[in-house]
Amino acid sequence: MKRMIIGFACLWPAIAVAQATQRQAADVEAAVRVTGTPERISLPPQLHNVWYDEFDAVAGEYTLSNGSNMSLGMRGNRMYARIGKGAPLQLVAVSPYVFVGRRQQVKIVVQEPDRSDSSRIHATVLLPSRMLSSLAPVHEYTTVLAQR
């Protein structure tokens, strides 16, 4: 019986140390927080002129990775994007293949057609999550991929 009590007495500090270490590890896990840089869509200080033939090369119907459609087109001398069944969004050019919504509601980066290995053109579209779901947080953005 004495041996059992002595063995338990020797084992007790090891158990206490293990529990304290486990509590510290749990506190460290709870304290670690990873945040990304918030996405923002902003107009450039200087707008870029895009020639009709440059825009015509990327204009058309795109299929988005979330299943919706996006169309890029011109009306007169203005460029527009329509995502899903939403209203047309007027675009301004940051560069020949990067477009931003005039009211900063969307950013579209199109792969240069000359650099494409196939006849397909790819693009990335950054837009507020609210354009995809009314339940999304107000200041959250989503990036979807597009293919034509």
pTM: 0.69
96 and 119 Cβ atoms separated by less than 8 Å: no
HSE on the CB side for 81, CA within 13 Å? 30
Give the domain ranges of the chain.
1-34, 52-147
How many Å apart are CA 109 and CA 107, to the nearest integer? 7
Q: Hey, what CATH topology would domain 52-147 get?
A: Lipocalin (2.40.128)
How many Å apart are CA 107 and CA 123, to the nearest integer? 10
Nearest to 97 by CA among 70, 122, 67: 122
98 and 92 Cβ atoms separated by less than 8 Å: no
Our CA dihedral for 35, 40, 44, 49, rounded to 10 degrees, sits at 120
How many Å apart are CA 42 and CA 103, to the nearest integer? 9
Under DSSP, the state recorded for 120 is -
Nearest to 50 by CA among 15, 86, 99: 99
Residue spans of the chain under pLDDT 70: 1-39, 116-117
Query: Tokens representing 121?
Result: 């053109």
Nearest to 56 by CA among 146, 121, 127, 124: 121
